[in-house]
Amino acid sequence: MMISVFLGSLLGTMALGMPIAFALLFSGVALMLYLDIFDSQIIAQNLINGADNFPLMAIPFFLLAGELMNAGGLSQRIVSMSMSLVGHIRGGLGYVAIMASVLFASLSGSAVADTAAIGAILIPMMVKSGYDINRSSGLVAAGGIIAPVIPPSIGFILFGVTSGVSITKLFMAGIVPGILLGVSLIVAWAIVSRRDNVTVQPRKSAREILKAFREGIWALFLPAIIIFGLRFGVFTPTEAAVVAAVYALVVGLFIYRQLTVKDLYQVFINAAKMTSVVMFLVAAALVSSWLITVANLPQEVIGLLEPFMDHPLLILLMINLLVVIVGTAMDMTPTILILTPVLMPLVKAAGIDPVYFGVLFIINNAIGLLTPPVGTVLNVVCGVSKISMEDIMKGVWPFLLAELIILILLILFPSIVLVPLHWLT
């Protein structure tokens, strides 16, 4: 009955159009009334405690770093480097989009920000060169969801805070799966792009390639610094976010000189707006999380799935199917915050490695960004390329299928995640 009260109040308020943060608070109040423990002070205290968490400080700094990179010219130079390497190959602009997506993912960790930046630069170029606009937009959208998987990942930070799993280990475990997602897009693009009669970009000379890398090397240093620092314990993920923001600021202001002091005001405003939305959502979700624990809902879920507890693979398949379904109707952040406290006790009871599960969970949630009707990344690309949701779905499905195949392989072969994780940590 308690599960019905929680889900009914949450889904009911969302169906009425209530913002998800307020729907989470409402479902928490409904659960408190059902348990006869309603107290407004408990709600206020948990709201404050939910946001008062040191690891969550990484989120505003990584969001700020992303804004500084876009304004400071780091993003443009990543595209230029990719263009110099593969722009001359048939279908080369598609490979540029994939390479840029992987590199962007290692800088900001935000799917929406990366997709918007890459789409604004590359989609007009691809259309002008004769590429199908639906397929080009679909590729950029599919590349954008690599951002929550490769460190630094805001999704991993939220999952780590909510579940108590090491964020550093999650970061390290996401590297290989993120690269595999990029490889799957390369294979899919090589198959589908053969239909396009496109203009091939001129081959760059060795001097032009060297110039592109010389200008872009400062952008490449950032992921290397973050991964090295986390691997050898130089700094925590939260400190890595501060390093990323300061690095992007210094490079944009003093090396590329594309960022001005006047630009900083708007950069800080944009980062603050995104941060406020995410942090309020986190605070509201942690009120529900506390009540989920008090109401003992995870134990009820475990009881329902008791017959399957000896089959971890079956449990994983059921959980991932659930997340796929939820991902069609809910954005990534609330899905992580709502489902993590419910699913983690089940995962531990089934003997599944929490870090490995975290990687699968985040990849699945990232794929949810490509599934309508919510599909946040799809909506961003539709806005950039000025096409309808129906059109982009025609273009994205081969790449969505490729990424789902990678997810299935990771479920069937855990060593793809666990062996590199063991080496990196």
What pLDDT is attached to residue 1?
65
Q: What angle do CA 410, 322, 148 make, to 5 degrees?
A: 55
* Separation between Cα atoms, residue 219 and residue 119, nearest integer Å: 19
In this prediction, residues 134-156 reach a mean pLDDT of 91
Encode 372-387: b = buried (16+ Cβ within 10 Å), e = exposed.
eebbbbbbbbbebbeb
* Digit-coded pLDDT (tens) for 99-124: 888 888 887 777 887 788 788 888 88
pLDDT surpassing 80 at residue 305: no
Considering the chain, what percentage of its residues have pLDDT values greater than 90? 22
What pTM does this model have?
0.83
Confidence of residue 185 (pLDDT cuts 50, 70, 90): very high
Considering the chain, what percentage of its residues have pLDDT values greater than 70? 95
In this prediction, residues 155-167 reach a mean pLDDT of 91
What pLDDT is attached to residue 20?
74
* Digit-coded pLDDT (tens) for 32-48: 887 777 777 877 887 77
In this prediction, residues 140-165 reach a mean pLDDT of 90
Confidence of residue 278 (pLDDT cuts 50, 70, 90): confident
* Separation between Cα atoms, residue 97 and residue 146, nearest integer Å: 12
Confidence of residue 330 (pLDDT cuts 50, 70, 90): confident
pLDDT surpassing 70 at residue 298: no
What pLDDT is attached to residue 297?
67
Over the chain, what is the mean pLDDT?
84
pLDDT surpassing 80 at residue 371: yes
* Separation between Cα atoms, residue 355 and residue 168, nearest integer Å: 10
What pLDDT is attached to residue 364?
94
Encode 120-136: b = buried (16+ Cβ within 10 Å), e = exposed.
ebbbebbeebebbbbbb
What pLDDT is attached to residue 199?
66
| pLDDT: which is higher, 376 or 156 | 156
- Residues in contact with 2: Cβ distance below 8 Å, sequence separation at least 6, in sequence order: 31, 34, 35, 295, 296, 297, 300
